Structure 1
Amino acid sequence: MSTIKGVEKMSQPNPVNSLASVAASRPQHVDSKHVAGTGLEARNIHAWFGDKHVIDDVTLDFYPGTVTALIGPSGCGKSTFIRILNRMHEFIPTAAMAGEVLLEGTDIYKSGTDVTKIRLGIGMVFQKPNPFPSMTIKENVLSGLKLAQLKVANQSELLESCLIRAGLWNEVKDRLDEYGGALSGGQQQRLCIARSLAVSPQVLLMDEPCSALDPGSTLRIEETIRELSASMTIVIVTHNMQQAARVSDRTGFFLSDGGPGRLIECSTTSEIFSNPKDKRTEDYVTGRFG
């Protein structure tokens, strides 16, 4: 009987090996010679909501042309952290932060910075699709141009280009004057991506962009992420380990452990899922907790 049990145990798949295989099966775009002052850099980030310390001393680089996934249990500060990366956390009255966020070597928190310009250059896609309900598909995509007071020579060309890059053009090219809210959930999320692309961001932040979507829509968003990563820096928060393995070049693991959220480790996605340096990371990616 013990022999049979042993055979059964040996036949069970190793979650780490399974995720590592997924990560290893896609091309990696990590630049091992990353140069400081390029891409997006977070330095010694602390965050508070009122008196509550929610992020403790996080330093992390986001390389140009790569996708970085942030993983970890709920409540460990991942979503707060990416909002700090484009100052979106400032919409919460009790929020405060310390540290530096550098875009191409310039601190986005320095005095006199145009915050609207920063948020256009570091775009964000949220957990739930949020197209402007009173605007058409066309108006949604081009809405950022008005906010930024940008003029383009050919809006129709830009509209088509953004919808193609977001993987939506073929589905809506004959519906551009319909309201964005009439689209399916997955289409609305891709519309929001197209809206961000219209102002040519250097960085795209994505906070669980697929959590409210069906599997088919999720796979289409993941394809879009991979296609966009060649031309920009992408940061994605996800609770889906398979998704992190499928789309990201680098993965950072956050953990609060009863206190403020901390970055436990960050490495190539293949390394995180095949040979994590910290036991807590291994326990999380194998499903032992979280």
Structure 2
Amino acid sequence: MTPTDISNNDNNMEKKMQTTTPSSLASVAGNREQRTPGTNLLGTGLETRGVHAWFGTKHVLSDVTLDFAAGTVTALIGPSGCGKSTYLRTLNRMHEFIPTAALAGEVLLDGQDIYAPGTDVTKIRLRVGMVFQKPNPFPSMTIGENVLSGLKLAQLKKSNTDELLESCLTRAGLWNEVKDRLGEHGGALSGGQQQRLCIARALAVEPQVLLMDEPCSALDPGSTFRIEQTISELAKSMTIVIVTHNMQQAARVADYTAFFLSDGGPGVMVETAPTSKIFSNPSDKRTEDYVTGRFG
């Protein structure tokens, strides 16, 4: 493909993504083939039971019970301030990094509560990786060093680091763009490339679950399309949970969607269902009002 071909492809994708309207969400979700939960080789997935979260005395999340099947993508949607990102951070114990944060309930990974006494938090975060809203490659490291940095920090030894480096960058959809630039600093990449570099870095420690907090919010349509392609490919081998404010994105990539809402009190999960149902025939009127753009 020539540079002109790439440019034209990006322009076509931008037009396609910009013309997707709320009224067409059900069609988009319905036309995409839904993945079925993965085999036991991927584990049984991630579950939460009665999760509550606080910041000091402020109750921000109330009684969330939700399952994430292995080998699928689940989108968390809802207005700002309804607890989506807080909930996401409870899934790998990043919530406790915040001063005054507290939590009640259970988060089960393959049936084991990750908050149980004696649990090795470092190992949990290796199994449940995280990609943040803004790309955060290590500025002093090269592209190659960024990808492998998690291994060093976790003191994991791999004999085939060259193969691992190529594999992670390939799975993140970045290898062909950077294979001749591995010695350059990660900050030299575009914003979309930096985000895919962060995905590759997360993949290097072989997580079972990948959490993504609005990973495309700061990206152009072409970069967003590439990230979404990466998400669909990665879901074949892991569980993915993505927070997004983009309804079209949820319709394009998610097998299941959970709608969160806060009505003056703590955030609650209103309903969860296959994405096609959420956008075509939700059970709760509040969900219908949100996905059709009546509020939020």
- The TM-score, its normalising length taken from structure 1, stands at 0.92
Q: Deviations over 1:14-67 (max 9, x none)?
A: 966510100011110144999xx8100011000000000000000000000000
Correspondence for 2:101? 95
- Find out whether 1:117 has 2:119 as its counterpart: no
For residue 55 of structure 1, give the secondary structure of its aligned residue in structure 2.
Answer: strand
Q: Which residue of 2 aligns with 1:189?
A: 195
Report how many aligned residue pairs link the two structures: 276
Correspondence for 1:256: 262
Aligned partner of 1:245 among 233, 246, 251:
251
Which of the residues 44, 48, 53 maps onto 2:50?
A: 44
Q: In the alignment, is the contact (CA less than 8 A) between 1:17 and 1:273 conserved in 2? A: no
Paired residue for 2:218, among 212, 220, 245? Answer: 212
Q: Give, in whole Å, the separation in 2 of the partners of 1:31 and 1:151.
A: 31
Helix, strand or coil: the match of 2:216? coil
CA distance in 1, matches of 2:249, 2:64: 23
Task: Give the residue type in structure 2 aligned to 1:247.
Answer: V
Amino acid paired to 1:252? A
Q: Mean Cα displacement is larger for which, 111-120 or 241-250?
A: 111-120
Percent identity reads 79
Partner of residue 6, structure 1: none
Query: Does 1:164 find its partner at 2:155?
Result: no
2:10 corresponding residue in structure 1: none
What residue number does 2:271 align with? 265
What runs of 5+ residues in structure 1 fail to find an aligned partner? 1-13
**After the TM superposition, which residues 60-209 of structure 1 pair with which residues of structure 2 at under 5 Å, given as runs?**
60-209=66-215
Runs of 4+ in 1 over 3 A off after TM superposition: 14-17, 30-34
Give the whole-Å Cα distance in 2 for the aligned partners of 1:31 and 1:281.
24
| SS in structure 2 at match of 1:76 | coil
CA, structure 1 residues 271+54, in 2 after alignment: closer, same or farther (shift >3 Å)?
Answer: same
Q: Pick the aligned partner of 1:229 from 235, 245, 258.
A: 235
Aligned counterpart, 2:15: none
Aligned to 2:61: 55
Q: Distance in 2 between matches of 1:233 and 1:161?
A: 18
**SS of 2:63's equivalent?**
strand
Unaligned 5+ residue runs, structure 2?
Answer: 1-19
Q: Structure 1 residues 30, 48: closer, same or farther in 2, change over 3 A?
A: same
Q: What's the TM-score, normalizing by structure 2?
A: 0.91
Say which one has the larger Rg: 1
Q: Secondary structure at the match of 2:26?
A: helix
**Aligned partners of 1:245 and 1:269 also within 8 Å:** yes
Which is further off, 253-262 or 143-152?
143-152
Q: CA RMSD in A?
A: 1.7
CA distance in 2, matches of 1:32, 1:228: 12
Conserved in 2, the CA contact under 8 Å of 1:30 and 1:268?
no
Contact 2:91–2:107 (CA under 8 A) maintained in structure 1: yes
Contact kept, 8 Å, 2:84 with 2:260, in 1: the verdict is yes
Question: Aligned partners of 1:149 and 1:187: how far apart in 2?
Answer: 26
Partner Cα distance (2:23, 2:244) in 1: 20
> What is the distance in 2 between the residues matched to 1:110 and 1:228?
29
**1:287 correspondence with 2:293:** yes
| Corresponding residue of 2:16 | none
Alpha-carbon shift at residue 212 of structure 1 (Å): 0.5
